């Protein structure tokens, strides 16, 4: 969701303010919509189940004033439909959701650029193939709307699409695809979320994604992906800022091409079976702010090149087999990373030694988790220098002695386990 909102705001804001074309952006309209499009909307409504009358405003001649409908204030054409259910998080009851059939009358809305049917309940129906004929679409959100079955390859005809969300994390139904080569036709795509879409048979997934030069955000967690190329001749993902491949079935070393994506800001590879040592090459990824490699099978040391990541806020290497003495940590945290790091999670590894000599370096740290390691000795007084610290987990080690008096200086501290 953190990545979704800014992009939605950008795209909808672009339509509203850059082109000054959507009449409903400010909730006001003096445009009488086009009769054929009003009839198309009424046909759409007739096929939908609406137990709480969310579409009760869909009456009368002025369809540009109807809930979820936006028009071009010069031509009167419908250019946006936003029927996402607002109750997914605050009320899980499906009673609030729209359901039923999504009629092909949408095809009569020739100027539609924005379609959001997310978080509704379409009862396991397939995504209509005809949506692939709505070639003017720039934004398509069908996430968590209880669609099931195979994703229609016809979506590959939407050559103007910039945003595609098929996230099925909250759905009781299975969306799947045997192949996603059709994605490579979406050359304008900037945002792609296929969370919980079964792609176990989609051996072409990386080549399809690598054909998208404008892609900025890619979410493919829980997709049952198992194959990932170790090396490729050319990485085309020069705009990629967010890459989430967590909770899949990869069982390999980290691929070489990963370190050629210098634009990465957030990288989440947790909960796979990546193994081998953590490469020093991470130190060259200067844009990284979030690095999540937890719950894998990495071995060896924390790479000292981490110190060069001047923008890194979150470092999660938890639940691996990382070992080594804590005496190397003063070197790791001697670089500019000490000024940016806010979350350090090294839980459940095989780190050994004393904490003294480096904790006080991390001046912006808010969360520190070193539990379930092989640490011993006292908790150093330098921990009192971490003025931003809110949470400390040091349990399941061999630490001894009493808590240092300097702990009392941590005015933001809410939880400590030792």
Instruction: Say which residues have a Cβ less than 8 Å from residue 5's Cβ, sequence separation at least 6.
Output: none
- Domain containing 204 equals 135-225
Assess if residue 317 is contained within a domain.
Answer: yes
3-state secondary structure of 375: strand
| 87, two tokens | 């109750």
- pLDDT score recorded for residue 31: 66
DSSP 386-418: -TT--EEE--SSEE-SPPPGGGGG-TT--EEE-
Q: Using an 8 Å Cβ cutoff, are 395 and 417 in contact?
A: yes
Question: From its phi and psi, is residue 63 left (phi > 0), alpha (psi between -120 and 50) or beta?
Answer: alpha
Instruction: Tell me how many domains the chain contains.
Output: 3
Assess if residue 5 is contained within a domain.
Answer: no
Pairing of strands 350-353, 374-377: parallel
Assess if residue 79 is contained within a domain.
Answer: yes
Same domain, 316 and 412: yes
**Average pLDDT estimate for 78-89:** 83
- pLDDT score recorded for residue 343: 98
**Average pLDDT estimate for 33-45:** 97
Same domain, 299 and 212: no
Residue 141: enclosing H or E segment and its boundaries? Answer: strand 139-141
Instruction: Say which residues have a Cβ less than 8 Å from residue 140's Cβ, sequence separation at least 6.
Output: 115, 116, 131, 155, 158, 161, 163, 164, 165
Same domain, 247 and 395: yes
CA distance 61 to 81: 17
**Average pLDDT estimate for 245-263:** 97
Q: Using an 8 Å Cβ cutoff, are 243 and 260 in contact?
A: no
CA distance 360 to 337: 13
In this predicted structure, which of 3-17, 254-268, 326-340, 351-365 has the lowest mean pLDDT? Answer: 3-17
CA distance 224 to 3: 22
Question: From its phi and psi, is residue 275 left (phi > 0), alpha (psi between -120 and 50) or beta?
Answer: beta
Choose the final residue of a domain: 225, 256, 272. 225
Assess if residue 13 is contained within a domain.
Answer: no
Same domain, 181 and 251: no
Same domain, 116 and 144: no
| 348, two tokens | 């459940």
Same domain, 350 and 204: no
Please tell me what DSSP assigns to residue 239. T
CA distance 169 to 146: 10
**Average pLDDT estimate for 54-75:** 95
Residue 209 has pLDDT above 60, yes or no: yes
Assess if residue 198 is contained within a domain.
Answer: yes
pLDDT digits (tens, 9 = 90+) for 119-170: 999 999 999 999 999 999 999 999 999 999 999 999 999 999 999 999 999 9
pLDDT digits (tens, 9 = 90+) for 289-348: 999 999 999 999 999 999 999 999 999 999 999 999 999 999 999 899 999 999 999 999
Q: How far is CA 189 from CA 42, 139, 210, 217, in A?
A: 31, 9, 12, 9
> Of 24, 109, 105, 106, which is closest to residue 65 (Cα–Cα)?
24
Pairing of strands 48-49, 99-100: antiparallel
Same domain, 290 and 159: no
CA distance 76 to 186: 28
> Of 128, 134, 131, which is closest to residue 112 (Cα–Cα)?
134
> Of 382, 350, 349, 367, which is closest to residue 417 (Cα–Cα)?
367
Residue 350 has pLDDT above 50, yes or no: yes
Same domain, 297 and 408: yes
Residue 23 has pLDDT above 60, yes or no: no
Assess if residue 1 is contained within a domain.
Answer: no
pLDDT-derived band at 356 (thresholds 50, 70, 90) equals: confident
Same domain, 117 and 139: no
Q: What is the mean pLDDT of the chain?
A: 91
Choose the final residue of a domain: 197, 225, 253. 225
3-state secondary structure of 229: coil
Choose the final residue of a domain: 61, 88, 121. 121
For the CA atoms of 306, 307, 310, 312, the dihedral, rounded to the nearest 10 degrees, stands at 40
> Of 127, 133, 142, which is closest to residue 110 (Cα–Cα)?
133
Higher pLDDT pick, 7 / 329: 329
- pLDDT score recorded for residue 30: 60
Work out the burial of residue 288: count CB atoms within 10 Å of its CB; fewer than 13 is exposed, 13-18 middle, 19 or more buried: buried
CATH code, domain carrying 175? 3.80.10.10
- pLDDT score recorded for residue 9: 53
Assess if residue 10 is contained within a domain.
Answer: no
Same domain, 79 and 150: no
3-state secondary structure of 60: coil
CA distance 65 to 340: 47
Pairing of strands 242-244, 415-417: unpaired
pLDDT digits (tens, 9 = 90+) for 84-128: 987 544 455 555 689 999 999 999 999 999 999 999 999 999 999
CA distance 302 to 333: 11
pLDDT digits (tens, 9 = 90+) for 237-253: 999 999 999 999 999 99
Same domain, 255 and 340: yes
How many other C-beta atoms lie within 10 A of the C-beta of residue 241? 19
pLDDT digits (tens, 9 = 90+) for 357-384: 888 899 899 999 999 999 999 999 999 9
Q: Using an 8 Å Cβ cutoff, are 267 and 243 in contact?
A: yes
Considering the entire predicted model, what is its pTM? 0.92
Same domain, 105 and 204: no
Assess if residue 370 is contained within a domain.
Answer: yes
């Amino acid at each position: 969701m953190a990545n979704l909102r800014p992009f939605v705001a950008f795209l909808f804001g672009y339509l509203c303010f850059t082109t000054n074309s959507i009449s409903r952006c400010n909730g006001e309209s003096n445009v009488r919509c086009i009769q054929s499009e009003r009839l198309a909307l009424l046909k759409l409504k007739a096929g939908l189940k609406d137990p709480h009358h969310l579409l009760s405003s869909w009456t009368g001649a002025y369809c540009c004033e109807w809930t979820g409908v936006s028009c071009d204030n010069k031509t009167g054409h419908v250019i946006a439909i936003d029927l996402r259910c607002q109750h997914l998080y605050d009320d899980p009851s499906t009673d609030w959701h729209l359901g039923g059939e999504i009629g092909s009358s949408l095809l009569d809305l020739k100027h539609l650029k924005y379609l959001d049917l997310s978080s509704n309940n379409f009862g396991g129906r397939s995504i209509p193939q005809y949506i692939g004929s709505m070639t003017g679409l720039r934004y398509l959100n069908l996430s968590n709307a209880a669609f099931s079955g195979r994703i229609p390859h016809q979506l590959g005809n939407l050559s103007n699409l910039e945003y595609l969300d098929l996230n099925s994390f909250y759905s009781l139904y299975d969306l799947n695809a045997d192949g996603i080569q059709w994605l490579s036709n979406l050359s304008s795509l900037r945002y792609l979320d296929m969370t919980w879409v079964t792609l176990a048979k989609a051996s072409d997934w990386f080549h399809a994604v690598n054909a998208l030069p404008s892609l900025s955000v890619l979410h493919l967690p829980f997709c049952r992906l198992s194959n990932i190329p170790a090396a490729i001749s050319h990485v085309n993902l020069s705009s990629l800022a967010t890459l989430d491949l967590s909770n899949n079935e990869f069982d390999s070393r980290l691929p070489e091409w990963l370190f050629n994506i210098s634009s990465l800001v957030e990288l989440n590879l947790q909960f796979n079976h990546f193994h081998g040592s953590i490469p020093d090459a991470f130190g060259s990824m200067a844009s990284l702010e979030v690095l999540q490699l937890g719950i894998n099978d990495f071995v060896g040391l924390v790479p000292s090149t981490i110190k060069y990541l001047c923008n890194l806020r979150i470092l999660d290497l938890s639940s691996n087999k990382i070992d080594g003495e804590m005496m190397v940590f003063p070197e790791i945290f001697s670089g500019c990373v000490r000024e940016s790091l806010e979350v350090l999670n090294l839980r459940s590894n095989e780190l050994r030694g004393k904490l003294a000599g480096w904790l006080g370096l991390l001046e912006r740290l808010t969360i520190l988790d070193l539990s379930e390691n092989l640490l011993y000795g006292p908790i150093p007084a330098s921990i009192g220098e971490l003025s931003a610290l809110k949470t400390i987990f040091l349990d399941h080690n061999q630490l001894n002695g009493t808590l240092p008096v300097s702990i009392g200086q941590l005015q933001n501290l809410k939880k400590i386990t030792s």
